[in-house]
Amino acid sequence: MKVVAIRVFIPSKDYEVSKRFYQSLGFEMERASDDLSIFENNGSTFFLSRHYNEDVKTNLMMQLAVSDIDAVYENLSTLTDFDIKYQPIIVEPWGRVIYLTGPSGELWHITQFHPIEGES
């Protein structure tokens, strides 16, 4: 088996709000259907679904690996029109992370990994 991609389907309570939120984070949106959009940034993609399922939302966590977590944090601080929650950047042994709860209650671990010793 050779995997080409893995993409998650994220439920949304308010589809229009969630679409605006992910575009504000820096994702490009492509309409897939009336109830589904594909979001992309630098080759990484996910689906946003108009349908909401509390069980899925409650158990869904995603990691978003970024190259500049400080820029992400600064961007998040400007998104005052959205009902989101996040903490200041936390330093972990493996990198730095922001825990973000999106507008539908979805949990993101936005992570910038520490470089591996010997890599540039």
Task: Give the pLDDT confidence of 4-29 residue by residue, as tens digits.
Answer: 888 999 999 999 999 999 999 999 99
Structure tokens at 75: 């961007």
- In angstroms, what CA-CA distances link 29 with 11, 47, 88, 102? 15, 10, 27, 17
pLDDT score recorded for residue 115: 82
Which of the following CATH numbers is that of domain 9-113: 2.40.70.10, 3.40.50.80, 3.10.180.10, 3.30.1540.10? Answer: 3.10.180.10
Confidence of residue 53 (pLDDT cuts 50, 70, 90): confident
Closest alpha carbon to 64 in 112, 103, 30? 112
Q: Tell me the pTM.
A: 0.88
